[in-house]
Chain A
Amino acid sequence: MAIALRNASGREPVMLWHRQDTLPELDLVVLPGGFSHGDYLRSGAMAAHAPIMGPVRDFAARGGYVLGVCNGFQILTEAQLLPGALLRNAGMRFLSQDCRLRVERNDTVFTRNWQAGDVFRAPMAHGDGNYAADADTLDRIEGEGQVAFRYEGENHNGSARAIAGVFSANLRVCGLMPHPEDLVDPLMGGTDGKPLFDGLVESFVQGAAQ
């Protein structure tokens, strides 16, 4: 993730420790993938209450941009910064393979360098990626354009309505299970995930220029 951010922005991302209780001035907070606190109880459940999440919550409430990938997505749902929850994969297996994602809309800072309907390849590596919410919530987020990405073709983990990633109501918080940051350089095997990071950086540069 740090490599993807550095390559896109030309700057070194600031690393923050979960016990910190303040944030420096930032354009974007990124919660990367991995595992946190053993993922006991539920994936991301403990991390959602880490000291750093207080300021992250405030940052989001002020309209700050937040991206969460994989465990980061799970943490954002547990922190209720994004709707829904991530359950055990429907097939019970940890999935480590590529998937294809469809971009639902491109009028957000996260998706502006794609076209709506574009399909791109993204690696995934998760055991709890089965997106779940009650039917009313699913109808609401679909109706309000809060679905960011869907699995195209095979819905590997059984996610409700093939949802792979969602936005907050203000479209400034985005979470997804697959890892676009793992395909941002030909040396990684492709650049399918690069539009996410390039789009973010271009938004912030334009924002700063205004």
Chain B
Amino acid sequence: MKVRVTVMLKDGVLDPPGKAIGHALHTLGFANVGEVRAGRVIELELDETDAARARAQADEMGRQLLANLVIESFETEVLA
């Protein structure tokens, strides 16, 4: 199964890359862009046929390695 893990900085945590992207978008003329937050997407191929189990495994991976819960939060989504 394919699982997507999306890791984002928690609300309130300063995001310098997001800010830099926002500045660049303004420079390009996208004047209506407000706050920009930059995260990370990780797609995992899991040798697993049960969607619930695949997602539970990805959640565990998120907690142990893929996200640092001090500063980040994450979501998992079974794609196929």
Indicate which residue in A49, A85, A158 contacts B70 across the interface (CB closer than 8 Å). A85
B64 partner residues in chain A, CB cutoff 8 A: 49
Interface of A is mostly: loop
CB pair B70–A89 under 8 Å, yes or no, is: no
Asked if B13 CB lies within 8 Å of chain A CBs, one says yes
Closest Cβ of chain A to B73, distance in Å, is 12
CB pair B66–A41 under 8 Å, yes or no, is: yes
Task: Give A contacts to B, CB under 8 Å.
Answer: 41-42, 45-46, 49, 77-78, 83-85, 87-92, 130, 132-134, 137, 158
CB pair B16–A91 under 8 Å, yes or no, is: yes
Q: How many residues of B contact A (CB 8 A)?
A: 14
Closest Cβ of chain A to B62, distance in Å, is 11
A130 partner residues in chain B, CB cutoff 8 A: 14, 16
CA of A42 to CA of B13, assembled, Å: 15
CB pair B17–A92 under 8 Å, yes or no, is: yes
CB pair B66–A87 under 8 Å, yes or no, is: no
Q: Which residue, A77, A83, A85, has most C-beta atoms of chain B within 10 A?
A: A85
Question: Known contacts A132-B13, A158-B14; can you find 11 more A-B pairs with CB under 8 A?
Answer: A41-B65, A45-B68, A49-B64, A77-B70, A84-B70, A87-B9, A87-B14, A90-B14, A90-B16, A132-B14, A158-B16
CB pair B71–A132 under 8 Å, yes or no, is: yes
Closest Cβ of chain B to A134, distance in Å, is 8
Asked if B44 CB lies within 8 Å of chain A CBs, one says no
Q: Give A133's nearest chain B residue, CB to CB.
A: B70
B79 partner residues in chain A, CB cutoff 8 A: none
